[in-house]
Amino acid sequence: GEDVEQSLFLSVREGDSSVINCTYTDSSSTYLYWYKQEPGAGLQLLTYIFSNMDMKQDQRLTVLLNKKDKHLSLRIADTQTGDSAIYFCAESPFDNDMRFGAGTRLTVKP
C-alpha cells in the first residue's frame, strides 16, 4: 500500500515494556522517525534511525529497523504513565517530503 501503517491502540501496565510497530512504504527513505504527541500539543521528535542501521538505543528507547520488510519498531522500557501519548512513525523518502503514519495511541495503566 501507499500508507505508512501503524496499529491504532496499545495498552500496557506501568513498568512493562511497550512495543509500537510500523510498516513504511519507500525503501529510498534515508531516515525514519518516531514522534510523540501529547494531548493539545504539537509533535515532539523522540528519536530517528539512519537506514543503514539495524538498531539504535537511547536511554529507555530502542528502535529496530528491518529494511527488507520495511518494518520499524519502537520499544519503550519501564513504561511510565507519562509515556501515555500518540506515537507517530514517519519516513523521509529521497527527494520527497516526510510521510507520517496515523499514530498509535499508547495507554499506560497504573
Partner 1 sequence: EAGVVQSPRYKIIEKKQPVAFWCNPISGHNTLYWYLQNLGQGPELLIRYENEEAVDDSQLPKDRFSAERLKGVDSTLKIQPAELGDSAVYLCASSLSGGAVDTQYFGPGTRLTVL
Q: Which residues are at the interface with partner 1 (CB under 8 A)?
A: 4, 8, 30-31, 40-45, 48, 50, 88, 90, 92, 97-103
Least separation, in Å, of the C-beta of 20 and partner 1? Answer: 13
Residue placing its CB nearer to partner 1 in the complex, 23 or 100: 100
Asked whether 87 and 33 are in contact (CB, 8 A), the reply is: no
Residue placing its CB nearer to partner 1 in the complex, 77 or 98: 98
DSSP state string for 1-38: --S-EE-SEEEEETTS-EEEEEE-S-TT--EEEEEEE-
Least separation, in Å, of the C-beta of 75 and partner 1? Answer: 20
SS3 67: coil
Least separation, in Å, of the C-beta of 14 and partner 1? Answer: 25
Closest CA to 34 of 19, 42, 21, 45: 45
Residue placing its CB nearer to partner 1 in the complex, 42 or 82: 42
